[in-house]
Amino acid sequence: MTASASVTAPGAPAPGLLPRRVAWEVLQAVSAGAYADIALERALRQHPMSGADRSLVTELSYGAIRQRQWLDGWLDRLGKVPASKQPPLLRWLLHLGLYQILRMDRIPAAAAVNTSVELAKTGKLVRLAPVVNGILRAALRARDAGELLSVPQDPAARLAQAESLPLWLTQQLLTWRGEKAAQAFACASNQAPPLDLRINRLRTSRESVQHELAAIGVESTPIESCPDGLLVTGSAGDLSRWPGYQQGHWCVQDRTAQLVAPLLDPQPGDWILDACAAPGGKATHLVELIDGSGEVWAVDRSAGRLKRLAANAARLGVDCLNALAADATDLLAVKPGWRGAFQRILVDAPCSGLGTLARHVDARWRITPLQIEQLVILQAKLLEGLLPLLSPGGRMVYATCTIHPAENCNQIEAFLGRHPELSLFDQQQLWPDPEQGGDGFYTAVLDLS
């Protein structure tokens, strides 16, 4: 045996097996109700591995979750049992194998098939290992022959299959935007999101952070629309180990989210309320914008989520930020002295998150039209409950990370109809951009006379 030869230790997993097993665990956890980002973070924490393997786990798990419907289409075509009737363990394992074969050019076919079969044998599917082998080899033959799924005639069904989106959503998209714009939205929703940073202007400058990151090989470029924004164009390793993170020089925040806090036009000395604040990205941004002079109250129903906000605030060194665990639909019951007390109120409302499908890969399979109807009711309650806290001459900004009109322009139109004392200063619907990046977002700026 030469010195360069490698040997797998007895009992050790075969090369390349561990990241695929971990990705399979993530798919199982998400199927059981876990959020994809939390499931992935937990799995990577439990299974230490190299940076390359961590990247493989992320691509496999997130990619297979995004493409669930498209992968089910291939299972329906190649298997004897429809995807919806497959045992979940088998279904998610086949998704991993199919994703590698049909979507990842850099994965050798033998590695995709052999590791999937090995996982079946060691993961309670030993009797179904031949099924895994047969379906994946059939997929490989279909790929090499240039075969594709049959194309539905209905435009909404065609878009849903091609871009792996729920049919109800593609039907709505075509109604709202037309075919070309709906296709652009679908494309953006299936891209890996950019990594945007917001520089903490209280502690450093954008140029200084760029220089520090470049020193460790992390390239970045300024985001033109965001005075404190940096787009990371090349990265390596754990972000918490990058220079400036522990010192609170920057935080991760999407560029569209960075546009929201400035819409309040916050001034030093203002009393500002962030009514749905956790995990605190916009609340800490508000403190930075008023130069730490004034008072920002961050309210959220979840005390646990406020702990994360407190940790972020401590790292960033923002001192005038206060947290309160409360229901923002009825804050006056908790704080009667807050009536008319705030010059600025941010209503970063709970929403369907349809503008962040690229970032939250499982969201497309979670949200339903009925849930959106319920969210619209909650959003209206928030607006009604928070308006009495706004002082005369004050400003309220309503923001969501969705593109659904019922949650956005229709919601605000109805709110204004109930309150003639309010005027609409500005509103904007941003759609996910497949070229420039950035989430879909809606904002409405309301002024109280």
Domain regions of the chain by residue span: 17-144, 155-189, 195-252, 255-448
Above 60 in pLDDT, residue 23?
A: yes
Res 14: pLDDT: 63
Above 60 in pLDDT, residue 12?
A: no
Q: What is the pLDDT of residues 233-287, one digit of tens each?
A: 876 667 888 999 999 999 999 999 999 999 999 999 999 999 998 888 999 999 9
Write the secondary structure of 133-191 as one string of H (helix), E (strand) and C (coil): HHHHHHHHHHHHCCCCCCCCCCHHHHHHHHHCCCHHHHHHHHHHHHHHHHHHHHHHHCC
Res 236: pLDDT: 63
**Yes or no: domain 195-252 corresponds to CATH 2.40.400.10:** no
How far is Cα 13 from Cα 364, in angstroms, rounded to an integer? 34
CA distances from 259 to 63, 228, 229, 330 (A): 29, 10, 10, 27
Above 90 in pLDDT, residue 392?
A: yes
Q: For the residues 392-411, what does the mean pLDDT come to?
A: 98
| Count of positions (residues) in the chain | 449
Q: For the residues 342-367, what does the mean pLDDT come to?
A: 96
Above 90 in pLDDT, residue 372?
A: yes
Structure tokens at 168: 């109800």
Query: Would you place residue 4 in the very low, low, confident or very high pLDDT band (cuts 50, 70, 90)?
Result: very low
Q: Just list the catalytic residues.
A: 401
- Give 345's Cβ-side CA count (13 Å radius): 29
Q: What is the pLDDT of the chain when averaged over all its residues?
A: 93
Q: CA 34, 364, 256 angle in degrees (round to 5)?
A: 100
CB distance 228 to 257 below 8 Å:
no
Q: What is the pLDDT of residues 160-174, one digit of tens each?
A: 999 999 999 999 999
Res 1: pLDDT: 33
Q: What percent of the chain has pLDDT over 70?
A: 96
Above 50 in pLDDT, residue 7?
A: no
Q: Which CATH number fits domain 17-144: 1.10.940.10, 1.10.3720.10, 3.40.50.920, 1.20.1300.10?
A: 1.10.940.10
Res 11: pLDDT: 45
Burial class from Cβ neighbours inside 10 Å (0-12, 13-18, 19+) for residue 349 reads: buried
**CATH of the domain spanning 255-448:** 3.40.50.150
